[in-house]
Structure 1
Amino acid sequence: MHRALVTFLLLALASAAFAEDGARSEFTDSRDGRVYRTVEIGGQVWFAENLAYAAKGSFCYGGAAKGCSERLYPKDVAEKACPAGWRLPSNDDFQKLYGYAGKTGVRSVGNALKAKSGWDRNGNGFDDFGFDAKPAGYCESRKKCEYRDCFLSMWSSTENISWSLYCVDEDFNKGTYSRTAALSVRCIKE
Protein backbone atom coordinates (compact mmCIF):
# COMPACT_ATOMS: atom_id res chain seq x y z
CA MET A 1 0.00 0.00 0.00
CA HIS A 2 2.81 2.38 0.89
CA ARG A 3 4.51 1.84 -2.50
CA ALA A 4 1.24 2.54 -4.35
CA LEU A 5 0.78 5.79 -2.40
CA VAL A 6 4.34 6.89 -3.19
CA THR A 7 3.83 6.13 -6.89
CA PHE A 8 0.53 8.05 -6.89
CA LEU A 9 2.17 11.05 -5.22
CA LEU A 10 5.09 11.02 -7.66
CA LEU A 11 2.69 10.97 -10.60
CA ALA A 12 0.65 13.80 -9.07
CA LEU A 13 3.78 15.89 -8.48
CA ALA A 14 5.03 15.21 -11.99
CA SER A 15 1.67 16.25 -13.45
CA ALA A 16 1.68 19.45 -11.40
CA ALA A 17 5.29 20.24 -12.29
CA PHE A 18 4.58 19.90 -15.99
CA ALA A 19 1.15 21.57 -15.93
CA GLU A 20 2.52 24.73 -17.51
CA ASP A 21 3.63 22.59 -20.44
CA GLY A 22 1.26 20.70 -22.63
CA ALA A 23 -0.20 23.94 -24.00
CA ARG A 24 -2.02 22.71 -27.06
CA SER A 25 -2.89 24.61 -30.16
CA GLU A 26 -3.35 24.09 -33.87
CA PHE A 27 -1.42 25.10 -36.96
CA THR A 28 -2.83 25.17 -40.50
CA ASP A 29 -0.34 24.36 -43.24
CA SER A 30 -1.04 26.91 -45.99
CA ARG A 31 0.40 24.55 -48.62
CA ASP A 32 -2.48 22.06 -48.39
CA GLY A 33 -4.86 23.37 -45.70
CA ARG A 34 -4.16 20.48 -43.33
CA VAL A 35 -4.57 21.32 -39.65
CA TYR A 36 -1.95 19.94 -37.25
CA ARG A 37 -2.20 19.72 -33.50
CA THR A 38 0.76 21.31 -31.70
CA VAL A 39 2.01 21.02 -28.14
CA GLU A 40 4.56 22.83 -25.98
CA ILE A 41 6.96 20.55 -24.12
CA GLY A 42 9.85 21.93 -22.08
CA GLY A 43 9.77 25.29 -23.85
CA GLN A 44 9.73 23.72 -27.32
CA VAL A 45 6.65 23.75 -29.58
CA TRP A 46 6.26 20.51 -31.54
CA PHE A 47 3.76 19.12 -34.00
CA ALA A 48 1.69 16.66 -31.94
CA GLU A 49 1.44 14.39 -34.96
CA ASN A 50 3.62 13.35 -37.87
CA LEU A 51 3.87 15.55 -40.92
CA ALA A 52 1.58 14.40 -43.74
CA TYR A 53 2.45 16.95 -46.43
CA ALA A 54 2.78 15.34 -49.87
CA ALA A 55 6.21 16.78 -50.65
CA LYS A 56 7.72 15.63 -53.94
CA GLY A 57 9.69 12.47 -53.16
CA SER A 58 7.70 11.55 -50.04
CA PHE A 59 5.40 8.53 -50.08
CA CYS A 60 3.03 6.44 -48.04
CA TYR A 61 3.98 3.24 -46.31
CA GLY A 62 4.08 0.46 -48.88
CA GLY A 63 3.10 2.89 -51.66
CA ALA A 64 -0.54 3.26 -50.56
CA ALA A 65 -2.15 6.05 -52.57
CA LYS A 66 -5.49 6.43 -50.82
CA GLY A 67 -6.12 7.22 -47.19
CA CYS A 68 -2.53 8.23 -46.59
CA SER A 69 -2.32 10.16 -43.34
CA GLU A 70 1.24 9.06 -42.53
CA ARG A 71 3.89 10.00 -45.05
CA LEU A 72 7.50 8.91 -45.01
CA TYR A 73 10.37 11.05 -46.24
CA PRO A 74 13.87 10.29 -47.47
CA LYS A 75 16.38 12.57 -45.72
CA ASP A 76 16.77 15.05 -48.62
CA VAL A 77 12.99 15.51 -48.77
CA ALA A 78 12.62 15.66 -44.97
CA GLU A 79 15.10 18.54 -44.78
CA LYS A 80 12.71 20.75 -46.79
CA ALA A 81 9.32 19.30 -45.82
CA CYS A 82 8.29 21.39 -42.77
CA PRO A 83 6.13 24.45 -43.47
CA ALA A 84 7.33 28.05 -43.08
CA GLY A 85 7.97 28.92 -39.44
CA TRP A 86 8.73 25.28 -38.62
CA ARG A 87 11.80 23.14 -39.16
CA LEU A 88 13.17 19.64 -38.89
CA PRO A 89 14.32 19.18 -35.27
CA SER A 90 18.04 18.86 -34.62
CA ASN A 91 19.60 16.09 -32.58
CA ASP A 92 19.90 18.67 -29.76
CA ASP A 93 16.14 19.34 -29.96
CA PHE A 94 15.41 15.63 -29.56
CA GLN A 95 17.91 15.35 -26.71
CA LYS A 96 16.17 18.24 -24.94
CA LEU A 97 12.81 16.47 -25.40
CA TYR A 98 14.35 13.24 -24.10
CA GLY A 99 15.81 14.95 -21.05
CA TYR A 100 12.61 16.80 -20.26
CA ALA A 101 10.38 13.75 -20.64
CA GLY A 102 12.75 11.78 -18.44
CA LYS A 103 12.57 14.24 -15.54
CA THR A 104 9.39 12.74 -14.15
CA GLY A 105 11.42 9.76 -13.00
CA VAL A 106 8.19 7.78 -12.92
CA ARG A 107 7.88 6.45 -16.47
CA SER A 108 10.32 5.55 -19.20
CA VAL A 109 10.80 8.30 -21.78
CA GLY A 110 9.34 6.13 -24.54
CA ASN A 111 6.15 5.40 -22.62
CA ALA A 112 5.83 9.09 -21.68
CA LEU A 113 5.89 10.06 -25.39
CA LYS A 114 4.00 7.16 -27.00
CA ALA A 115 0.31 7.49 -27.80
CA LYS A 116 -2.20 5.66 -25.62
CA SER A 117 -3.34 3.55 -28.57
CA GLY A 118 -2.23 2.32 -31.97
CA TRP A 119 0.86 0.32 -30.98
CA ASP A 120 1.01 -3.45 -31.61
CA ARG A 121 2.21 -5.99 -29.03
CA ASN A 122 0.80 -4.08 -26.05
CA GLY A 123 3.27 -1.30 -26.82
CA ASN A 124 0.95 1.63 -26.05
CA GLY A 125 2.28 4.42 -23.88
CA PHE A 126 0.84 7.05 -21.56
CA ASP A 127 1.31 10.21 -23.68
CA ASP A 128 2.15 12.27 -20.60
CA PHE A 129 3.02 15.41 -22.58
CA GLY A 130 0.66 15.35 -25.57
CA PHE A 131 3.39 14.33 -28.04
CA ASP A 132 1.06 11.52 -29.19
CA ALA A 133 3.74 9.43 -30.92
CA LYS A 134 2.07 6.79 -33.08
CA PRO A 135 3.76 4.09 -35.14
CA ALA A 136 4.25 4.70 -38.85
CA GLY A 137 6.92 2.16 -39.81
CA TYR A 138 9.81 2.95 -42.10
CA CYS A 139 10.92 2.08 -45.61
CA GLU A 140 14.33 1.18 -46.96
CA SER A 141 12.76 1.69 -50.39
CA ARG A 142 9.24 2.23 -51.69
CA LYS A 143 8.79 -1.53 -51.88
CA LYS A 144 10.56 -2.58 -48.68
CA CYS A 145 8.61 -1.19 -45.73
CA GLU A 146 8.41 -2.67 -42.24
CA TYR A 147 6.87 -2.37 -38.79
CA ARG A 148 3.93 -0.13 -39.65
CA ASP A 149 2.14 -0.65 -36.31
CA CYS A 150 5.19 -1.21 -34.16
CA PHE A 151 7.83 1.42 -34.99
CA LEU A 152 8.24 5.17 -35.33
CA SER A 153 11.49 6.75 -36.44
CA MET A 154 11.72 10.51 -36.97
CA TRP A 155 14.46 12.30 -38.88
CA SER A 156 16.57 14.93 -37.18
CA SER A 157 18.32 17.67 -39.15
CA THR A 158 21.63 16.29 -37.88
CA GLU A 159 23.30 14.10 -40.51
CA ASN A 160 21.66 10.64 -40.74
CA ILE A 161 20.42 10.74 -37.12
CA SER A 162 16.90 9.70 -36.22
CA TRP A 163 15.02 9.17 -32.97
CA SER A 164 12.86 6.08 -32.64
CA LEU A 165 10.19 4.39 -30.56
CA TYR A 166 9.46 0.67 -30.81
CA CYS A 167 6.42 -1.25 -29.59
CA VAL A 168 8.43 -3.69 -27.46
CA ASP A 169 10.84 -1.09 -26.04
CA GLU A 170 10.07 1.56 -23.45
CA ASP A 171 12.87 3.94 -24.39
CA PHE A 172 13.35 6.69 -26.97
CA ASN A 173 16.44 5.76 -28.96
CA LYS A 174 18.86 7.66 -31.15
CA GLY A 175 20.04 5.84 -34.25
CA THR A 176 21.25 6.29 -37.81
CA TYR A 177 19.83 5.48 -41.24
CA SER A 178 21.02 5.97 -44.79
CA ARG A 179 19.72 9.16 -46.39
CA THR A 180 17.59 7.09 -48.77
CA ALA A 181 15.57 5.45 -45.97
CA ALA A 182 12.10 6.94 -45.60
CA LEU A 183 11.15 7.96 -42.05
CA SER A 184 8.55 10.14 -40.38
CA VAL A 185 8.93 13.87 -39.77
CA ARG A 186 7.92 15.82 -36.64
CA CYS A 187 8.29 19.55 -37.12
CA ILE A 188 9.41 21.95 -34.38
CA LYS A 189 8.66 25.68 -34.26
CA GLU A 190 11.54 27.95 -35.28
Structure 2
Amino acid sequence: MKRTLLTLSLLCTILFSCSKKNENNPSASLELNGRSYPTVKIGSQTWTTMNYDGPGGIASPRNDEYDYGKYYSEKEMLAIKLPDGWRVPSKEDFVKLMKSQGELTIDVPEVTATDADGAKVLKAASSWYLPGDNSSGFNILPGGYYQSFSKEFLEYKGMAYFWTTTSGPALSIDPNYYYCFRVSGRYSSPGTGSEPETGAEVRDMTTGDNVIWYNIRFVKDN
Protein backbone atom coordinates (compact mmCIF):
# COMPACT_ATOMS: atom_id res chain seq x y z
CA MET A 1 0.00 0.00 0.00
CA LYS A 2 2.80 2.39 0.94
CA ARG A 3 4.62 1.56 -2.28
CA THR A 4 1.45 2.29 -4.28
CA LEU A 5 0.96 5.64 -2.57
CA LEU A 6 4.63 6.50 -3.11
CA THR A 7 4.34 5.62 -6.80
CA LEU A 8 1.20 7.74 -7.21
CA SER A 9 2.83 10.63 -5.38
CA LEU A 10 5.90 10.43 -7.59
CA LEU A 11 3.73 10.28 -10.74
CA CYS A 12 1.74 13.35 -9.67
CA THR A 13 4.97 15.21 -8.94
CA ILE A 14 6.35 14.39 -12.40
CA LEU A 15 3.12 15.38 -14.15
CA PHE A 16 2.92 18.65 -12.22
CA SER A 17 6.55 19.39 -12.99
CA CYS A 18 6.02 18.76 -16.71
CA SER A 19 2.91 20.91 -16.68
CA LYS A 20 4.79 23.79 -15.04
CA LYS A 21 7.71 23.32 -17.41
CA ASN A 22 5.47 23.63 -20.47
CA GLU A 23 3.48 26.55 -19.08
CA ASN A 24 4.20 29.49 -21.42
CA ASN A 25 7.14 27.47 -22.81
CA PRO A 26 9.86 29.62 -21.19
CA SER A 27 13.29 29.71 -22.81
CA ALA A 28 16.61 31.53 -22.37
CA SER A 29 16.91 35.31 -22.40
CA LEU A 30 18.26 37.50 -25.20
CA GLU A 31 21.25 39.56 -24.06
CA LEU A 32 21.42 42.86 -25.94
CA ASN A 33 23.24 46.12 -25.21
CA GLY A 34 23.83 45.15 -21.60
CA ARG A 35 20.22 44.24 -20.93
CA SER A 36 18.53 40.86 -20.57
CA TYR A 37 15.19 40.32 -22.35
CA PRO A 38 13.10 37.31 -21.24
CA THR A 39 11.90 35.09 -24.08
CA VAL A 40 9.15 32.55 -24.66
CA LYS A 41 8.71 29.75 -27.19
CA ILE A 42 5.40 29.97 -29.03
CA GLY A 43 4.87 27.40 -31.74
CA SER A 44 7.91 27.33 -34.04
CA GLN A 45 9.15 30.75 -32.88
CA THR A 46 10.94 32.26 -29.88
CA TRP A 47 9.89 35.80 -28.94
CA THR A 48 11.10 38.41 -26.49
CA THR A 49 8.42 39.13 -23.89
CA MET A 50 9.50 42.71 -23.11
CA ASN A 51 9.59 45.73 -25.41
CA TYR A 52 13.00 46.86 -26.60
CA ASP A 53 14.68 49.45 -24.38
CA GLY A 54 18.04 49.98 -26.05
CA PRO A 55 19.93 52.97 -27.48
CA GLY A 56 17.93 55.78 -29.08
CA GLY A 57 14.18 55.86 -29.04
CA ILE A 58 11.85 57.81 -26.79
CA ALA A 59 11.15 56.61 -23.27
CA SER A 60 7.60 56.10 -22.10
CA PRO A 61 6.28 58.85 -19.80
CA ARG A 62 3.98 56.38 -18.02
CA ASN A 63 4.47 56.76 -14.30
CA ASP A 64 3.20 53.36 -13.21
CA GLU A 65 4.52 49.88 -12.39
CA TYR A 66 4.68 48.61 -15.98
CA ASP A 67 7.70 48.65 -18.29
CA TYR A 68 6.61 49.79 -21.76
CA GLY A 69 10.12 50.00 -23.17
CA LYS A 70 10.93 52.72 -25.71
CA TYR A 71 9.30 53.91 -28.91
CA TYR A 72 11.38 53.94 -32.08
CA SER A 73 11.28 55.58 -35.50
CA GLU A 74 11.40 53.60 -38.72
CA LYS A 75 15.08 54.49 -39.30
CA GLU A 76 16.05 53.41 -35.79
CA MET A 77 14.14 50.16 -36.15
CA LEU A 78 15.90 49.27 -39.39
CA ALA A 79 19.34 50.07 -37.90
CA ILE A 80 19.15 47.69 -34.90
CA LYS A 81 21.93 45.08 -34.83
CA LEU A 82 20.98 41.72 -33.33
CA PRO A 83 22.79 38.46 -32.49
CA ASP A 84 22.76 35.73 -35.14
CA GLY A 85 19.33 34.20 -35.63
CA TRP A 86 17.40 37.09 -34.11
CA ARG A 87 15.47 39.69 -36.14
CA VAL A 88 12.91 42.45 -35.93
CA PRO A 89 9.70 40.61 -36.95
CA SER A 90 8.32 40.73 -40.46
CA LYS A 91 4.63 40.79 -41.28
CA GLU A 92 4.82 37.01 -41.80
CA ASP A 93 6.32 36.51 -38.31
CA PHE A 94 3.35 38.19 -36.63
CA VAL A 95 0.89 36.33 -38.87
CA LYS A 96 2.51 33.06 -37.79
CA LEU A 97 2.21 34.15 -34.16
CA MET A 98 -1.52 34.85 -34.57
CA LYS A 99 -2.11 31.57 -36.40
CA SER A 100 -0.47 29.68 -33.53
CA GLN A 101 -3.09 31.09 -31.14
CA GLY A 102 -6.27 30.61 -33.19
CA GLU A 103 -8.04 31.00 -36.49
CA LEU A 104 -7.57 34.08 -38.65
CA THR A 105 -10.73 36.11 -39.24
CA ILE A 106 -9.34 38.34 -42.03
CA ASP A 107 -6.49 37.68 -44.45
CA VAL A 108 -6.19 40.18 -47.32
CA PRO A 109 -3.23 42.26 -48.57
CA GLU A 110 -3.98 45.22 -46.30
CA VAL A 111 -4.73 43.41 -43.05
CA THR A 112 -4.50 39.98 -41.43
CA ALA A 113 -6.40 39.61 -38.17
CA THR A 114 -7.45 37.20 -35.46
CA ASP A 115 -10.43 37.50 -33.15
CA ALA A 116 -10.77 38.52 -29.50
CA ASP A 117 -9.84 35.05 -28.22
CA GLY A 118 -6.64 35.05 -30.28
CA ALA A 119 -5.72 38.46 -28.89
CA LYS A 120 -6.64 37.61 -25.30
CA VAL A 121 -3.90 35.01 -24.93
CA LEU A 122 -1.27 37.49 -26.18
CA LYS A 123 -2.21 40.39 -23.91
CA ALA A 124 -1.02 40.97 -20.35
CA ALA A 125 -3.56 40.26 -17.63
CA SER A 126 -3.36 43.82 -16.29
CA SER A 127 -2.99 47.47 -17.36
CA TRP A 128 -5.42 47.16 -20.31
CA TYR A 129 -8.92 48.62 -20.29
CA LEU A 130 -9.94 45.16 -21.57
CA PRO A 131 -7.18 42.83 -20.29
CA GLY A 132 -6.07 39.48 -21.63
CA ASP A 133 -4.97 36.36 -19.76
CA ASN A 134 -1.40 36.13 -21.14
CA SER A 135 -1.67 32.34 -21.40
CA SER A 136 0.78 32.43 -24.33
CA GLY A 137 3.41 34.24 -22.25
CA PHE A 138 3.78 36.96 -24.91
CA ASN A 139 2.79 39.65 -22.39
CA ILE A 140 1.68 42.58 -24.53
CA LEU A 141 1.23 45.82 -22.60
CA PRO A 142 -0.96 48.67 -23.93
CA GLY A 143 1.66 51.35 -24.43
CA GLY A 144 0.05 52.95 -27.47
CA TYR A 145 2.39 54.88 -29.78
CA TYR A 146 4.28 58.17 -30.11
CA GLN A 147 3.33 60.76 -32.72
CA SER A 148 6.33 62.95 -33.51
CA PHE A 149 4.64 65.91 -35.22
CA SER A 150 2.31 66.48 -32.26
CA LYS A 151 4.87 65.22 -29.73
CA GLU A 152 2.34 63.17 -27.83
CA PHE A 153 1.72 59.57 -26.75
CA LEU A 154 -1.60 58.15 -27.91
CA GLU A 155 -3.82 55.10 -27.21
CA TYR A 156 -2.34 54.36 -23.77
CA LYS A 157 -4.09 51.41 -22.05
CA GLY A 158 -6.25 50.75 -25.10
CA MET A 159 -3.82 49.70 -27.85
CA ALA A 160 -0.34 48.31 -28.49
CA TYR A 161 1.67 48.85 -31.69
CA PHE A 162 4.83 47.06 -32.87
CA TRP A 163 7.05 47.57 -35.89
CA THR A 164 7.46 45.03 -38.66
CA THR A 165 10.17 45.16 -41.32
CA THR A 166 7.68 44.55 -44.14
CA SER A 167 7.01 47.56 -46.36
CA GLY A 168 5.13 48.39 -49.54
CA PRO A 169 1.67 46.81 -49.11
CA ALA A 170 0.05 45.83 -52.37
CA LEU A 171 -2.78 48.36 -52.26
CA SER A 172 -0.89 51.32 -50.83
CA ILE A 173 -0.18 54.39 -52.95
CA ASP A 174 2.69 55.32 -50.62
CA PRO A 175 5.78 53.11 -51.12
CA ASN A 176 7.07 54.13 -47.69
CA TYR A 177 4.27 52.40 -45.80
CA TYR A 178 5.16 49.68 -43.31
CA TYR A 179 2.97 47.05 -41.79
CA CYS A 180 2.59 47.14 -38.03
CA PHE A 181 1.24 44.66 -35.50
CA ARG A 182 -1.64 46.24 -33.61
CA VAL A 183 -3.45 44.79 -30.60
CA SER A 184 -6.57 46.42 -29.15
CA GLY A 185 -8.34 46.12 -25.83
CA ARG A 186 -10.58 49.10 -25.25
CA TYR A 187 -14.15 50.37 -25.49
CA SER A 188 -14.87 52.00 -28.82
CA SER A 189 -16.74 55.26 -29.24
CA PRO A 190 -19.48 54.53 -31.84
CA GLY A 191 -22.99 54.76 -30.43
CA THR A 192 -22.87 54.60 -26.66
CA GLY A 193 -19.09 54.30 -26.53
CA SER A 194 -19.33 51.14 -24.47
CA GLU A 195 -18.80 48.57 -27.21
CA PRO A 196 -15.79 46.31 -26.56
CA GLU A 197 -13.06 46.42 -29.19
CA THR A 198 -10.45 43.71 -28.87
CA GLY A 199 -8.35 41.77 -31.36
CA ALA A 200 -4.93 41.45 -32.98
CA GLU A 201 -3.97 42.35 -36.53
CA VAL A 202 -1.13 43.12 -38.91
CA ARG A 203 -2.04 46.05 -41.11
CA ASP A 204 -0.54 48.66 -43.48
CA MET A 205 -1.09 51.78 -41.44
CA THR A 206 2.43 52.97 -40.73
CA THR A 207 4.18 55.71 -42.72
CA GLY A 208 7.90 55.27 -43.11
CA ASP A 209 8.79 58.95 -42.63
CA ASN A 210 9.49 58.88 -38.87
CA VAL A 211 6.10 60.42 -38.04
CA ILE A 212 4.92 57.44 -35.98
CA TRP A 213 7.12 55.69 -33.40
CA TYR A 214 6.27 52.19 -32.20
CA ASN A 215 7.49 49.58 -29.72
CA ILE A 216 9.71 46.70 -30.88
CA ARG A 217 9.91 42.99 -30.12
CA PHE A 218 12.40 40.43 -31.47
CA VAL A 219 11.91 36.91 -32.81
CA LYS A 220 13.90 33.91 -33.99
CA ASP A 221 13.01 30.47 -35.33
CA ASN A 222 13.25 27.56 -32.89
Any residues of structure 2 matched to 1:1-190 within 5 Å, and which?
A: 22-31=24-33, 33-54=34-55, 56=56, 58-61=57-60, 70-81=69-80, 83-85=82-84, 86-102=86-102, 108-119=117-128, 121=129, 123-141=130-148, 143-159=151-167, 160-168=178-186, 169-175=197-203, 176-179=205-208, 180=210, 181-189=212-220
Instruction: Tell me by how many angstroms 1:149 deviates.
Output: 2.2
Instruction: Tell me by how many angstroms 1:173 deviates.
Output: 1.6
Return the letter of the residue paired with 1:101: Q
Instruction: Tell me by how many angstroms 1:29 deviates.
Output: 2.5
CA RMSD between the two structures = 2.9
2:173 corresponding residue in structure 1: none
Q: Please give the alpha-carbon distance, in whole angstroms, between the structure 2 residues aligned to 1:80 and 1:43.
A: 26
What is the TM-score with the length of structure 2 in the denominator?
0.66
Instruction: Tell me by how many angstroms 1:27 deviates.
Output: 2.0
Q: Please give the alpha-carbon distance, in whole angstroms, between the structure 1 residues aligned to 2:155 and 2:115.
A: 28
Return the letter of the residue paired with 1:138: Y
Is the contact made by 1:51 and 1:82 (CA closer than 8 Å) also made in structure 2? no
Gaps of 5+ in 1: 1-18
Is the contact made by 2:115 and 2:199 (CA closer than 8 Å) also made in structure 1? no
Return the letter of the residue paired with 2:35: R
Mark the structure with the bigger radius of gyration: 2
- SS at 2:39's partner residue? strand
Identity over the aligned pairs, expressed in percent? 23
Task: Tell me how many residue pairs correspond in the alignment.
Answer: 165
- SS at 2:119's partner residue? helix
